[in-house]
Structure formats: structure tokens, C-alpha cells
Structure 1
């Protein structure tokens, strides 16, 4: 039996993962910025699921949630940094009032929650699951701010994997493609300054035409995450779904072309040997 601390459980993958983990016999600390949004999630499971308020951008709140988890269950084995949302719009369209709060949740919130959890995980090992995205693998027009936030999650996760290996702590980076959650509905904001110059690359149309029609089955994605957490040989990077794999394969091929094209020129930059 594992004990999980999961952020962002009011909807989407966080909610589904919390439910699936407790249904298989694990214990879950489910958190949300507004704890009332997860009362119905927690109610059927009695003492095996604990609902806690957690605004991940508040370092004190993260520490308080960890302390309560330790008080209730004695600790936890798995931290899932799931809380986050997206911002669509061209780089020129976005304003600081729109993109800074997104970075506060997606990046700095992940950092604060992880820092609060590490003293517990370092004692006994465990797993950190950081929810990235196919958007964290490759950038695309109209999603640059969200790309940047998820690229940051990837870099932080890779660094953590090296830092925490001596303590027996694994890091998993989950990189889902489009799954039929309400992410494109309630978890996406659109830059208010919509410029006609960027109409062709706008992600607004993508949201309107794909919300509720994504090909990915979220319950199957949750099954993959559970399997990865249980496995001894799970990779650091875990693209989930055919779209995410296609993004990764295109990125690898493009990166290789770029590296090879100017290789001889770009490596000839050391001091000349005497």
C-alpha cells in the first residue's frame, strides 16, 4: 500500500488519480486550492482519503499540508505535482497579468510543494510525479507561455532526478497528449489581447474545436501512471498517448537535423592546441 499526496484534485488527472489510487487500496491526501471542490471526491472513502486545502503558490500552505499528511498517515510515498493551468495566445499578445500567475502555479508552486515534501521523502525514499505535457517536449505557436512553463517543469525534474537518486527517490515526468478531461475547458485561459496578425497561429480555435473531443481516454492514462509508479524500471520521461509520442519523435528528429547540419562548424570553437 502506498500513500499519495496529490495537488490539484478538483478536476482532471488529479481527481481521477486520487480516486483510482484509493480504489485500489492506497491512501491519498487530496488537495485543492478550495477544499470544498473535493469534498464529494473524498466523502465515499472515509479515513483512507484526506482532503486538505493547498494553494501551491503559498510555501507556508505547502508545509502545512505536508505536516498534516505526516500527522494523519505518518508520511507519504508518492508526491504528485499536478496543479496547473494553461494560457493560450501569441507571445506578443500575452500580458504579465496573464502569464506571471500561470508560472506561479505551474512552476513555482511545483517547487514550493516539492521542497516541503523532500524532508519526508528523503527519510524513506519514494517517487515524485511531475505532470508535464506534450507541450513540455516541443513548442508550438499560440502556446508559447504554456510551453515555457512546462519546459521549466522538465528541466527542474531532470535536475531533481540527479539530486535525489542517492536518497532512493525517483522522479517521473508525465507528458500527456490530448486527453478528454476538462483541461481545455476550465483549465485554459486565452490572452485577452487577440491580435489579428496572429489569427493563423491562434490556439483559440484549437480549444473550441477539440474541447470534449480529445482522442485520449483519461482512465487509460491514469492506469499508465499507476503502473509507472509501481514499476522498478519506469523511465524518467513518460510521453502518454500517441500524440505525445509523435511530438517527441518529431522533436528528436528535428533536433538531430539541427545538430548534424552545423556540427563541424559549431564544435570547432575550442582554443587552438599548441
Structure 2
């Protein structure tokens, strides 16, 4: 029986993941900044799910949630870092008052929760699931700050994978494309300073035209995540959906093209040996 500690369970993938894990008999510690928003979801599971308040940007709160998970279930073997939100707008349009809090949640919150959880996971082994995005694979105009946050998640996760392998801890980076969750409805903020110069690339109308129309089925995505957590051969990177796979393929092709085009020039940079 697995025990899960999941952040950001008030909506989206992680609410579905928490429910799916509990429904198959696992134990779940579901957390959210506003714990009242998730209390009802725990009632059907006869103590197999508990709900806790957790502001991931608060290191003390992260430690308290981990301690409560240990007190209740003796520990956990799956940590899911999901809490976060997006910021859309051109780089020049957004102010520090908009983008710094987004990094606090998406990047530093993930770090604080992971650091709090690692002493437990080093004893038990297990899996860290870090929710990235297709936006963490390749940058695109109008999503630069969100790209940067998810690129940071990717880098941290890849480093963790190497650091934690000796302890029997795996890292899974989940990179969803567009799925029909309420991410575009409630988890996106827009840069307040709308500049006409960036009207074509700032994603001003992306939310209105795509929210509720995404092709991806979140329940199918959750089933894949569960399968990957259970698998002995789970990958480090897990793009979800055809759009995410297309982003990855384009990025690989573009990166390879850049490397090959300038290889004969850029590779000759070592000291000469005479």
C-alpha cells in the first residue's frame, strides 16, 4: 500500500490524483492552502485520506505537514509537488509584484516541500512526482515567466534524480499539454500592463478561447501518472498528451539543428595542446 503526500489538491490534476489514489486503497495526505476547500473529499475514505493546510511557500508549514503525515501514517513513499499557478503576458509587460510571487509558489514552494520530505523519503525510498508542463520543455511568447518557473522545476528535478538515486528514490517529471482542468480558469493570472506592441504574442485571449475546450482528458492523465508511479521502468520525463509530445519533438529537433549547424565552430574552444 502506497502513502501519498500531495500538494495543491484544491483543483485540477492533483485533486483527481488524490481521489484516484484513495479509491484504489492507498493512503493520502491531501493538502491545500485553504484546507476547507478539500475537507469534504476525504470523508468517504474511512481515514485513508486526511486533509491538511499547506502554504508551500512557508517552510515551517511544509515541515508541519510532513510531521503530521508521519504521525498519522508512519511516513509516506510518494511526494507530489503540484501547487502552483501561471502568469501570462510578455516579459516587458509583467512587474516584479506579479512574477516574484509566482516563482515563490512554483519553484521555492516546491523546494521547501521537497526539503521537508526528504528525510522521510530517504528512510523509505519511493517517488517524487514534480508537476511541470509542456511549458517546461520549450519557451513560447507570452508565457515566458511560466516557462522560466517550469524550466526551474525541470532542472531541480533532474538534479534530484541524480542525488537521490543512491537512496532508492525516483523522480518523475510530469509534463502535461492542455488538459480540461480549471487551470486556465482559476490558476492563471495576466500581466496587468497590457502593451499594444505585444498584442500578437502576449496570450491575452488564450484563456478565453481555450478554457473548457482543451483536448486532454484529465482522468486519463491521472491513470498514466498512477501507472508510472507503480512501474519499475518509469521515465524521468513524462510528457502527457499529443500536444506535449509535439512540443518535445520540436524542441529536440530544433536543439539538434542548432548543435549541428555550429558544431565545427563552437566545439573548438579548448586550449591548444602542443
Instruction: Give the TM-score of the pair, scaled to structure 1.
Output: 0.99
- Structure 1 residue 46, shift from structure 2 partner: 2.6
Structure 1, 145-154 or 43-52: larger mean CA deviation: 43-52
SS in 2 for 1:197: helix
CA deviations 1:105-135 (Å, max 9, x no partner) are: 0000000000000000000100000000000
Aligned pairs for 1:111-122 (under 5 A) are 111-122=111-122
Which residue in the other structure is 2:50 paired with? 50
Which residue in the other structure is 2:80 paired with? 80
C-alpha distance in 1 between matches for 2:43 and 2:30: 12
Which residue in the other structure is 1:70 paired with? 70
- Structure 1 residue 23, shift from structure 2 partner: 0.3
Which residue in the other structure is 2:147 paired with? 147
Aligned pairs for 1:64-213 (under 5 A) are 64-213=64-213
Structure 2: any 5+ residue segments left out of the alignment? none
C-alpha distance in 1 between matches for 2:179 and 2:40: 23
* Aligned residues: CA RMSD: 0.5
- Structure 1 residue 244, shift from structure 2 partner: 0.1
Instruction: Give the TM-score of the pair, scaled to structure 2.
Output: 0.99
C-alpha distance in 1 between matches for 2:72 and 2:183: 31
SS in 1 for 2:172: strand
SS in 1 for 2:164: helix
- Structure 1 residue 76, shift from structure 2 partner: 0.3
Over 2 Å off, 4+ runs: none
SS in 2 for 1:180: coil
SS in 1 for 2:171: strand
Which residue in the other structure is 2:25 paired with? 25
